[in-house]
Structure 1
Amino acid sequence: MSRVVVVGSFNVDHVWNCASLPRRGETLSGHYHTGPGGKGFNQAVASARAGVETGFLCALGDDDGGRQARALAEADGIALRVHESLHPTGTAGIYVDEAGHNTIVIGAGANGDLSASWVSRQAQALAGARVLLSQLESPLDSVLEAMRLARAGGTTTMLNPAPANAQCLRELLAAADVLTPNETEFAALLERHTSHRIDSETIASTADAQLHKLCRTLLPRGTVVITLGAAGAFVSHREDLLRGDDTPFYRVAADKVQPVDTTGAGDAFNGALAAAYAQGQGRAFAEHVRFANRYAGLSTEQVGAAQAMPRLAVAG
């Protein structure tokens, strides 16, 4: 039985490396490559390569992209459960500049066909896992159904509310035991679901006590982990549920790396955090966050998304 189950998207990534990101109306020259991606698949690969039995629930088309997903999942030992779609497998167009920054456009394709009714038939797989990890590149009712089924079976639910422009329903937040936004996503969630506002660019420099207060306002009953890129991560727990930690809020510093491509860094963090938590639930949560930080940092030193996920054993 898989210890981590990821519900989400698979995309075929089409990537252009350019000196700078293209501006409106601008045509640039760049170097092209293609490879596997999608937030769900990236996170599943990260979890599996971190050394934890991992399952992946997704929708694929009957095409080269779908066949690629099946072959890659088999190669990494990922237990694949597929909703067969009549639409093409999902795609993404990605531009990466010399500093490793990126912009992305997604064509959902088959990912849009991941239905709640199909997910409901996967209840046994969801309930048997230690951690369920979901994102927002799939239909929201399907993500919510997966989280409800998992929680009903005693599984810890982890929600990565990405991409930032996707809607995140209040019901999804209520179903999340652990929420993992980046700065942009955290600011967007606060604006949508609370009366508070914060500039995403100021989050890393916001006082810890104030940031903790905002996290408690957004997710009163769960743990919030805000990923801060080169500034590491901020963790906020419910006061009576510290997950093995000694304090309800703290920061974890990022390791120094030499990034060449940040495309899958957030997915690397989430997959590694899910894997570490599932493998060592008796350890302090801070140890799992430190591992996820290291893992995400290493992923940026390689080109690609799923292909850049390091092969490491879970460790605190």
Structure 2
Amino acid sequence: MSHVVVVGSFNVDHVWNCATLPRPGETLSGRYHTGPGGKGFNQAIAAARAGAQTGLLCALGGDEGGRQARALAQADGIDLRVHDSAQPTGTAGIYVDEAGQNTIVIGAGANADLSVAWLGRQAAALAGARVLLSQLESPLDSVLEAMRLARAAGTITMLNPAPANAQCLRELLAAADILTPNETEFAALLERHTSHRIDRDEIAGAPDAQLHRLCRTLLPRGTVVITLGAAGAFVSHREDLLRGDDAPFYRVAAEKVEPVDTTGAGDAFNGALAAAYAAAPAQPFAAHVRFANRYAGLSTERVGAALAMPRLTPGG
């Protein structure tokens, strides 16, 4: 059985590196490359390379992209379970500037065919995992079904509510034991599901006690980890469920790195956090967050998404 099971997307990434990000109506010259990506696949590769026995449940087309996903998953020892789709394998167009910042457009393709019925038939794989990790690039009712099946079996459910423009259902939040938004996603979730508001640019500098109150409003029964890029991460636990920590809320500093491409950094963090937590759930949660921060930082020193994930084990 897999220690971490990821339910999510696979995309073929088409990437252009350019001096600045293109503005409306602007044509730029850049350097092009292509490679595997998609939040689900990125996070599965990260979890596997961070030391977890990993499974991935996804939908693929019968094309070159689908064949690439199968070959790469096999190479990294991932237990790949595929819903075969008549649609082309998912794609993403990515622009990366000289500072490593990016913009992304996704074509869902086969990812949109990941169905509730098919996931229901994967109940044994979900029940056998220690951690289920999901995102929002797949149909939301299917993600919810996976989380409900996993939680019913005692598996820890971890939801990365990305991308930020996805309509994260309230039921998804209720089914999450651990929620991992970035600043943009956290601000969007607060606006959508609570009466509270905070500007994304104010989150990193907000007082810890204020962030903790907002996290408890958004996810009263679970743990929230807000990823803050260069500012590290903020963790908020339920007062009676500290996951081995000494305090209900705290910050973890980011690692010092020289970033060349931030594409997939959030996925690196999530995959590494799931792997570390699954490997040693009794250890303080803060140690797992520190490992995930280090892992994500190292991923930004390489170009690409899935293939930029470093091979690094907790404590290594």
Query: In the alignment, is the contact (CA less than 8 A) between 1:276 and 1:315 conserved in 2?
Result: no
Deviations 1:197-240 (A, max 9, x none): 00000000000000000000000000000000000000000000
Secondary structure at the counterpart of residue 133 of structure 1: strand
Deviations 1:85-142 (A, max 9, x none): 0000000000000000000000000000000110010000000000000000000000
Query: In the alignment, is the contact (CA less than 8 A) between 1:47 and 1:54 conserved in 2?
Result: yes
Whichever residue aligns with residue 203 of structure 1, its letter is I
Which residue of structure 2 lines up, in the alignment, with residue 136 of structure 1?
Answer: 136
Specify every segment of 5 or more residues in structure 1 that has no aligned partner in the other structure, as ranges: none
Q: Within 2, Cα distance between the matches of 1:22 and 1:310?
A: 29
Which residue of structure 2 lines up, in the alignment, with residue 227 of structure 1?
Answer: 227
Which residue of structure 2 lines up, in the alignment, with residue 280 of structure 1?
Answer: 280
List aligned pairs for 1:155-304, cutoff 5 A: 155-304=155-304
Secondary structure at the counterpart of residue 187 of structure 1: helix
Which residue of structure 2 lines up, in the alignment, with residue 63 of structure 1?
Answer: 63
Q: Within 2, Cα distance between the matches of 1:117 and 1:174?
A: 21
2:51 counterpart of 1:54: no
Residue correspondences, number: 316
Whichever residue aligns with residue 82 of structure 1, its letter is V
Q: Within 2, Cα distance between the matches of 1:47 and 1:102?
A: 23
Secondary structure at the counterpart of residue 259 of structure 1: coil
How far did residue 314 of structure 1 move? Answer: 2.0
Which residue of structure 2 lines up, in the alignment, with residue 22 of structure 1?
Answer: 22
Q: Within 2, Cα distance between the matches of 1:275 and 1:124?
A: 20
Q: Within 2, Cα distance between the matches of 1:16 and 1:253?
A: 31
Secondary structure at the counterpart of residue 204 of structure 2: helix
Which residue of structure 2 lines up, in the alignment, with residue 13 of structure 1?
Answer: 13
Which residue of structure 1 lines up, in the alignment, with residue 41 of structure 2?
Answer: 41
Which residue of structure 2 lines up, in the alignment, with residue 81 of structure 1?
Answer: 81
Whichever residue aligns with residue 76 of structure 2, its letter is D
Q: Within 2, Cα distance between the matches of 1:122 and 1:49?
A: 23
Whichever residue aligns with residue 53 of structure 1, its letter is Q
Identity, % of aligned positions:
85
Q: Within 2, Cα distance between the matches of 1:216 and 1:30?
A: 44
How far did residue 313 of structure 1 move? Answer: 1.3
Whichever residue aligns with residue 259 of structure 1, its letter is P
Query: In the alignment, is the contact (CA less than 8 A) between 1:2 and 1:128 conserved in 2?
Result: yes
Q: Within 1, Cα distance between the matches of 2:8 and 2:116?
A: 12
Specify every segment of 5 or more residues in structure 2 that has no aligned partner in the other structure, as ranges: none
Q: Within 2, Cα distance between the matches of 1:310 and 1:63?
A: 28
Deviations 1:7-40 (A, max 9, x none): 0000000000000000000000000000000000
How far did residue 174 of structure 1 move? Answer: 0.1
Q: Within 1, Cα distance between the matches of 2:297 and 2:56?
A: 23
Q: Within 2, Cα distance between the matches of 1:23 and 1:57?
A: 36
Secondary structure at the counterpart of residue 100 of structure 1: coil
How far did residue 315 of structure 1 move? Answer: 2.4
Q: Within 2, Cα distance between the matches of 1:242 and 1:259?
A: 32
Query: In the alignment, is the contact (CA less than 8 A) between 1:10 and 1:40 conserved in 2?
Result: yes
Q: Within 2, Cα distance between the matches of 1:314 and 1:151?
A: 25
Deviations 1:53-106 (A, max 9, x none): 000000000000000000000000000000000000000000000000000000
Q: Within 2, Cα distance between the matches of 1:52 and 1:105?
A: 30
Which residue of structure 1 lines up, in the alignment, with residue 72 of structure 2?
Answer: 72
Q: Within 2, Cα distance between the matches of 1:274 and 1:237?
A: 16
